[in-house]
Amino acid sequence: MDVRELPVADAYEFVPPVFPDRRGLFVAPFQEPAFLRAVGHPLSVAQTNHSVSHAGVVRGVHFADTPPGQAKYVYCPRGALLDVVVDVRVGSPTFGRHAAVRLDSTDFRGVYLAEGLGHAFLALEDDTVLAYLCSTGYNPAAEHGVNPLDPALGLPWPADTEPVLSDKDAAAPTLAEARRDGILPRYEDCLARYDALRAAYAPSGA
């Protein structure tokens, strides 16, 4: 499995080998050895999510209070989508930047985003499925969002697509408003969380 760190710190793209034959294909979208080498600690999966979206649907930008935060490993088992990671961690050297990866059911690329990072995607085809491995369960009180159409973010949604948003995402604050209101994660808290996860793994991994 090939791994690439994305332009947003603490986010990675994983590219697994795909094995097609006359019956269909086989692929392992998540592989722990490659994940450990890249991230430095295991992914503890507390919840898996499965979304189905029509073409043009945008979900996000979503993030959770950190600590504990919610790390995500996502891949697309059906259809195609543009997956976007946004650095919403105040104090991060890549604050406000984004990284975009096409995920689809041909290459089965995966994206990992650490706790504190924002996540969004746009479905490029009808009936597009996104599978999520999440490090923590859903906690409504700790979940927040930034408007995916915030001009200051400049997210790379296709110009020929009219984004379809939920009422909640459409009403989400801009990045500047979210920062002003104090709902964004702090980079130092996120780093402390990553260090704690690596330290907890170190005794067994040493």
Residues annotated as catalytic are: 62, 132
Which residues, in sequence order, are CB contacts of 155 under 8 Å at separation 6+? 61, 84, 86, 98, 100, 120, 148, 149
SS3 9: coil
Phi and psi (nearest 5°) for 37?
-60, -35
Contact 115, 68 (CB under 8 A): yes
* Integer angstrom CA distances of residue 59 from 41, 66, 68, 196, 202: 28, 21, 22, 30, 35
Contact 115, 69 (CB under 8 A): yes
Distance CA 155, CA 122 (A): 10
Quickly tell me which residue has 């503890």 as its tokens: 44
Contact 72, 103 (CB under 8 A): no
Alpha helices in 64-184 (DSSP H): 167-170, 175-180
